[in-house]
Amino acid sequence: MSSGLQICLSFILLTQLPDTTERSPISVEELWLKLTLSGSRQRLSLVIADFTTPRGTKSDTVSLVAQLQQVFTADLRFSLYFTFEEPESGKVYNFPTDPKKPDLKGWATTGAQILICGDYVPRKGNAQLNLRLYDLASSRLIASKPYNLRPEWRWLAHQMADDVIKLLTGEDGVSCTRIAFSRALAAGNKELAVVDYDGANLEQITGSGGLKLFPDWAPDGNRIAYCAYGTSSLNCYLLDLTNRKVAVISERTGLNTTPAISPDGKTIALSLSFEGNSEIYLLDINGRNLRRLTNHPAIDISPTWSPNGRQLAFVSDRTGTPQIYIINVDGTDLHRLTFAGSYNTSPVWSPKGDLIAFVQRQPDGANQICVTNILGDSYLRLTYQGNNEEPTWSPDGLHLAFTSNRTGTWEIWTMDWNGANQRQITRTGGAFSPTWSPRLRR
């Protein structure tokens, strides 16, 4: 066991789980060093025993427990913090997991550092699933926590996974997050919809008709800014998810578009054209106290906040083609970020602060997602199939969601920060402009 893991386990031993991470392209290894700051993190090796149910348990409950374990395991795999020890094809691990006498020496032969067990405990009116974690090097219990089963069992699995991630790594997971997007329903009609980060539980959250575009999730998780066409202009609104009420952010003449809510939730950056060409402005979240940030004959659009709220990146064609620029929120230190490629759009700043994802038009005309460091001196292309646009970061900065037409229709996909593990999460017939929520509570 690594010294880092020993220190971690000694600190958390027998604790409870919490109640509820053209210039030369940068190498993947160098980007990983930038992303993790030290590059010293090692993935913990897990083995997950089959969750148990007592004899005589109804078959539908046995199936539910198995499904819950599948979602829980998928969440841990998605996190990128762990590796998994699994038996050879056609074989299973049969070491006992009885809470009173688990065969920890047997489980240690799998090569894993941590064993995770789950037990279904029937109770009148309040059945539970008890989760246990063991350090296999020292054969000691790390933590144990009972979870009350409830109809929203997938969300329960997400909460369990995030609790384990927090316990073992000290980082907040993203299992309890959702992705909002603009869903095409018919010609001239796009409504806002949300899914869990893994694509489950599709829910439409608007239904007034027309086009709902460019959603952006507020850091409190309870509000989404978006754009919709009024009688004569594209306007900006704020949807309260707790009561579905809509407030006006800006209905000025011309375009009111691409809203981005600040990390503290108090300010909205957006592009307005009421004074002529499109410029970047700042507004209080209630739509008051307008401040102009840029002033140039070119088009300035698509602002994105740095995680400390002190800077914005945005798109401008002031050099003739769209490129990405960075500016302080007081209007100082304006400078160009992207130089590779002649058409770069849709910037989004990583929550870790050191990377910006964006869309770059390729020589073949296709749009592909890239990432660059904030100095703009190196970048990495992440996508290659079809057109891939409108990236959005997960709250931990380890994943991106985006829209792609590689299957023939625009749908939402996710991938790791380095372009690995790309997978489709929606099948709606038209999904655009994803925005990844902060961590949510239920």
- Residue 298 sits in a domain whose CATH number is 2.120.10.30
Which of the listed residues 120, 135, 169 is the one where a domain comes to its end?
169
| 71 in the same domain as 32 | yes
pTM: 0.91
In a domain, 442, yes or no: no
Terminal CA-to-CA distance of the chain, rounded, Å? 36
| 154 in the same domain as 28 | yes
Q: What is the pLDDT of residue 8?
A: 40
Q: What is the pLDDT of residue 100?
A: 93
- Say if residue 161 is exposed, middle or buried (CB neighbours under 10 Å; 0-12, 13-18, 19+): buried
Which of the listed residues 105, 138, 169 is the one where a domain comes to its end?
169
Short-list 281, 261, 283, CA closest to 273: 281
Two tokens, residue 55: 């004899």
Short-list 169, 171, 164, 194, CA closest to 72: 164
| 276 in the same domain as 140 | no
pLDDT beneath 50, residues of the chain: 1-16, 18-26, 28, 32, 34-40
Asked if 132 and 99 count as a contact pair (C-beta separation under 8 A), the reply is yes
Q: What is the pLDDT of residue 378?
A: 86
**CATH number of domain containing 148:** 3.40.50.10070
| DSSP bridge pairs for 114 | 46, 135
Cα 340 to Cα 24: distance, rounded to the nearest angstrom: 9
Asked if 346 and 302 count as a contact pair (C-beta separation under 8 A), the reply is yes
Total domain count, the chain: 2
List the domain range (segments joined by +) for residue 205.
178-436
Short-list 238, 196, 199, CA closest to 218: 238
Cα 235 to Cα 257: distance, rounded to the nearest angstrom: 7
In a domain, 428, yes or no: yes
Q: What is the pLDDT of residue 45?
A: 96
Which of the listed residues 169, 197, 214 is the one where a domain comes to its end?
169
DSSP codes, 65-102: HHHHHHHHHHHHHHHSSEEE--PPTT--------TTS-
In a domain, 78, yes or no: yes
| 159 in the same domain as 191 | no
User: Which residues 6+ apart lie within 8 Å of 415 measured at CB?
Assistant: 382, 383, 399, 400, 402, 421, 422, 423
| 133 in the same domain as 206 | no
| 150 in the same domain as 184 | no
| 150 in the same domain as 202 | no
| DSSP bridge pairs for 144 | 132
Asked if 205 and 425 count as a contact pair (C-beta separation under 8 A), the reply is no
Asked if 54 and 122 count as a contact pair (C-beta separation under 8 A), the reply is yes
Cα 43 to Cα 82: distance, rounded to the nearest angstrom: 5
Please give the helix or strand (H or E) that residue 162 lies within, else none: helix 153-169
In a domain, 320, yes or no: yes
Cα 366 to Cα 385: distance, rounded to the nearest angstrom: 9
| 154 in the same domain as 105 | yes
Please give the helix or strand (H or E) that residue 168 lies within, else none: helix 153-169
Q: What is the pLDDT of residue 20?
A: 37
| 297 in the same domain as 153 | no
Q: What is the pLDDT of residue 90?
A: 72
In a domain, 441, yes or no: no
Two tokens, residue 20: 């509820």
In a domain, 249, yes or no: yes
| 276 in the same domain as 187 | yes
In a domain, 306, yes or no: yes
Q: Which value, in Å, is the radius of gyration of the alpha carbons in the chain? A: 24
In a domain, 137, yes or no: yes
153-169 vs 59-79: helix crossing angle, rounded to 10: 40
Asked if 395 and 436 count as a contact pair (C-beta separation under 8 A), the reply is yes
Q: Tell me the H-state helices in 177-269.
A: none
| 192 in the same domain as 159 | no
| 187 in the same domain as 153 | no
